[in-house]
């Protein structure tokens, strides 16, 4: 299935990446090539094969419920683009 520009635009919106008018053609072409390449998987019979999310098939360890973190707000916010009164600032969020 060849992907179309409007689909790429939708995906780019989901991924929050602006793509300019000028780029969209080439971006679409290259992604179409990649999708064409990965499409060879569709021919493989994977009936009853359990998907493998982790190469070791290991299980989750559980952490004790203890507080181990101190307040490091100052050092974390020293590298933030915009803060005020201890809050991170973003353009107004409209609910």
**In this chain, which of 5, 6, 19, 24 binds other proteins, going by CB under 8 A?**
19
Contact between 2 and other proteins (CB under 8 A)? Answer: no
Alpha-carbon Rg for the chain, nearest whole angstrom, is 22
As measured in angstroms, the least distance from the Cβ of 95 to other proteins is: 6
Contact between 76 and other proteins (CB under 8 A)? Answer: yes
Angle between helices 5-14 and 21-38 (to 10 degrees): 90
Give the up-direction half-sphere exposure of residue 2: CA atoms within 13 A in the CB hemisphere.
5
30 and 2 Cβ atoms separated by less than 8 Å = no
User: What is the spatial distance between Cα 93 and Cα 9, in angstroms, rounded to a whole number?
Assistant: 23
Contact between 55 and other proteins (CB under 8 A)? Answer: yes
Contact between 21 and other proteins (CB under 8 A)? Answer: no
CB-wise, 25 or 68, nearer to other proteins? 68
Residues interacting with other proteins, by CB under 8 A?
Answer: 3, 7-8, 11-19, 27, 30-31, 33-35, 37-42, 44, 46, 49-56, 58-69, 71-73, 75-82, 84-95
């Amino acid at each position: 299935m060849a992907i179309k520009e409007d689909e790429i635009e939708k995906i780019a919106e989901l991924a929050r990446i602006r793509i300019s008018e000028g780029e969209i053609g080439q971006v679409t072409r290259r992604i179409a090539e990649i999708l064409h390449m990965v499409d060879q998987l569709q021919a493989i019979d994977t009936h009853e094969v359990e998907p493998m999310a982790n190469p070791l098939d290991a299980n989750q360890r559980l952490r004790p419920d203890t507080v181990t973190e101190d307040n490091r707000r100052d050092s974390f916010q020293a590298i933030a683009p915009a803060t005020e009164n201890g809050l991170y600032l973003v353009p107004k969020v409209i609910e």
